[in-house]
A and B are shown apart, each in its own frame.
Chain A
Amino acid sequence: MQASYKNIAWTMLKPISIFSGLVLWHALATHVVNDATLLVSPLVVIAKAYEMLFVTADLYPHLYASSWIFLQGMVLATVVGVPIGFLMALSPAVRDYVNPWMTALYTTPRIAFAPVILLWLGIDLAAKVIIVFLGCVFPILINSFYGMRVVSREFVEVGRSFRLSRGSLFMKILLPASVPFILAGLRLAVGRGLTGVAIAEWFGATEGLGYLIFFAGQTLNLPILFVGVAVFAILGILGFQLLRVIEDLASPWRKELLVK
């Protein structure tokens, strides 16, 4: 009996922490700071979110514009990143020649490229998609590379002993074995892609979540700023979880291994 009470107390700790944090935030905003340009109560933020979602519905165009850029960037990154990663894994020469450029591109803070891309492409959709693409492509590429390289030798030997042609060895063994890695790369790319969306829309956009955040920041409109940041956080978490589910579906043998 004692133990179960204790258990309940333990599991309640997280919600209590969230709740008391929100109360503290509210108290801080209404009694200590009391300045709508510095901090607003979570209640105001929720009211604003409700208004933007259901009353004026002016969140949707931004959401739509951002998702469109994000999706295009992700698809482009997958289409480009996966084959390059495979090529690098299958041919050491390609890897050695591409590697220095990749390291340079990968380790440079991505925002440095944004002005250069805008210089080349202007502020239209293409530039934004490319900025998102640059953010997402490396996790995908690197994971495809590792996935292809760590395919177990046994799998390949089984394929060889069945005298698979090179093509079907690739299609039947190498590709399926690296799918989980590619999906893990996509999962990592979600966060970086969202950051890319925010960066892209910051430089010369007229709509989108990034635009919303920067506009709100510059006009000190804190409720909208909070809503924008929250939407970003929620999208990040949703994308991450969604890809985790897809990962489990696409490679059920991994889960079985875990269960055993």
Chain B
Amino acid sequence: MLSKELRRGLVSIFAGLALWEILTRLLLENELLIPPPSSVLRTLWELGATGQLNKHLLATLFEFVCGFSTACVVGILFGYFMGRYKWFDDVMDPWIATLYSIPVVAFVPFIIIWFGIGMVSKVIVVFKITAVAIMLNTAAGIKNIDPTWLELSKSLRLNPRQNTFKIRLPAALPYIVTGMRLGVGRAMLGVIVAELMAANAGLGYLLRDASETWDSPKLFVTVLLLAGMGMGSFTLIKKAEQKLAPWRETAEW
């Protein structure tokens, strides 16, 4: 038995799709403006069968994973030191804050000028966006550690290594995951923007290709894939957040 909430959600989605299908079939003669869901699905199938889908999806995922994983390592490392040592925080803060406040879209042209139109520039875009978000949140987590835990660490005479890995980092973990969640959404935007601007593979490229050739079923397929990617990564991170920090109420969206 499904919960009431889930049942209503499913009803809403199916009713919406059915309405979309019926309206587009009845009212529109050509599919240029809004293709019905059935033809979007057919295009999705065709793209999958020709292997095009695989190529673009893998390119974007590869860029994303490379950038994200390096950003996690660097972000946590820098964030840790920013939280631990005030002088380091003071030195880094003006630059990190500036980087953080520039809209994602505005610095993509720089990255492309400096690192070319290949995959490297996209990896760097993802890296920059995620690393800054994780850095700021890790630093906040390390700074806001509960002093009783530090006292505990002292009274147990933990050595600095244990102090770092058993007390400070676990305490900052929920903050780190929040940083990752904030980073994911922006990084996804960044990678798509970079691919739109200059690339030869990836979902952003597909989006540009579809919109320039007025191929609206393909355009909608791309939007659908991006929605899937966004929702997938968001749910994954949210699950991780709930698991790592069950005492914190996480955002519903």
Across-interface contacts of A38 in B (CB, < 8 A): 113-114
Q: Is the C-beta of B222 less than 8 angstroms from some C-beta in chain A?
A: yes
Residues of B contacting A110 in the complex (Cβ-Cβ under 8 angstroms): 189
B11 on the A face (CB < 8 A): yes
Partner of A120, one of B33, B193, B222, B231: B33
Given the known inter-chain contacts A99-B9, A198-B105, please indicate yes or no for A17 contacting B210, CB distance below 8 A. Answer: no
Cα A21 to Cα B90 with chains together (Å)? 13
In the complex, chain B residues whose CB is within 8 Å of the CB of A99: 5, 9, 12
| Interface residue? A111 (CB, 8 A) | yes
Known: A111-B193, A113-B223. A233 touches B109 (CB 8 A): no
B33 touches A112 (CB 8 A): no
- Contact between chains at B192 and A14 (CB < 8 Å): no
A112 with B106, Cβ < 8 A, contacts A38-B113, A199-B193, A220-B113 known: no
> For A218, what are the chain B residues with a Cβ–Cβ distance below 8 Å?
109
Q: CB-nearest residue of chain B relative to A106?
A: B253
Q: Is the CB of B107 within 8 A of A229?
A: yes
Query: Which chain B residues numbered 105 to 120 have a C-beta less than 8 Å away from chain A?
Result: 105-107, 109-110, 112-114
The answer for the CA separation of A13 and B161 in the assembled complex, in Å, is 28
Q: List A contacts of B11 (CB < 8 A).
A: 97
Q: A104 to B227, Cβ gap below 8 A?
A: yes
Please tell me if the beta carbons of A202 and B207 are within 8 angstroms of each other in the complex: no
Q: Which residue of A lies closest to B15 (CB)?
A: A97
Residue pair A107, B90 in contact (C-beta under 8 Å):
no
Segment of B74-82, B91-99, B151-159, B172-180 in the binding face: B91-99
Partner of B101, one of A116, A202, A225, A237: A237
With beta carbons under 8 angstroms apart, the residue of A108, A138, A202 that contacts B223 is A108
The reply to whether the CB of A61 lies closer than 8 angstroms to some CB of chain B is no
Task: Indicate whether A109 sits within 8 Å of B13 (C-beta atoms), given known contacts A38-B113, A229-B107.
Answer: no
- Which residues from A are CB-within-8-Å of B251? 142
Contact, CB under 8 Å: A115 / B211: yes
Q: A220 to chain B: which residues have CB within 8 Å?
A: 113
Contact of B102 among A113, A216, A233 (CB under 8 A): A233
Residues of chain A within 8 A of B211, CB atoms compared: 115, 118-119
A81 at the interface (CB under 8 A from B): no
Measured CA separation A216–B110 after assembly (Å): 10
Within 8 Å of chain B (Cβ to Cβ): is A34? no
Closest Cβ of chain B to A147, distance in Å, is 14
The answer to whether B253 touches A108, judged by C-beta atoms less than 8 angstroms apart, is no
B43 to A: closest C-beta gap in Å:
15
Q: Could you tell me if B87 and A13 are in contact, using CB atoms closer than 8 angstroms?
A: yes
Residue among B4, B16, B113, B192 making CB contact with A111, cutoff 8 Å: B192
* A107, B185: Cβ atoms closer than 8 Å: yes
* B-contact 0/1 string along A108-136, CB 8 Å cutoff: 11111101101110000000000000000
Contacts of A252 in B (CB 8 A): none
Q: Which residues of A contact B109 (CB under 8 A)?
A: 213-214, 216-218, 225
Closest A-chain residue to B5, C-beta based?
A96
The interface centre, meaning the residue of B103, B110, B211 with most chain A CB atoms within 10 A of its CB, is B103
Binding site for A on B (CB under 8 A): 4-5, 8-13, 16, 32-34, 86-87, 90-95, 98, 101-107, 109-110, 112-114, 185, 188-189, 192-193, 196-197, 204, 207-208, 210-211, 214, 216, 219-220, 222-223, 226-227, 230-231, 234, 251-253
Show 19 residue pairs from A and B whose CB-CB distance is below 8 angstroms, ordered by the A residue: A14-B91, A38-B114, A96-B5, A97-B8, A97-B9, A100-B13, A107-B234, A111-B193, A111-B196, A113-B223, A115-B208, A119-B219, A120-B33, A195-B104, A220-B113, A225-B109, A229-B106, A229-B107, A232-B106
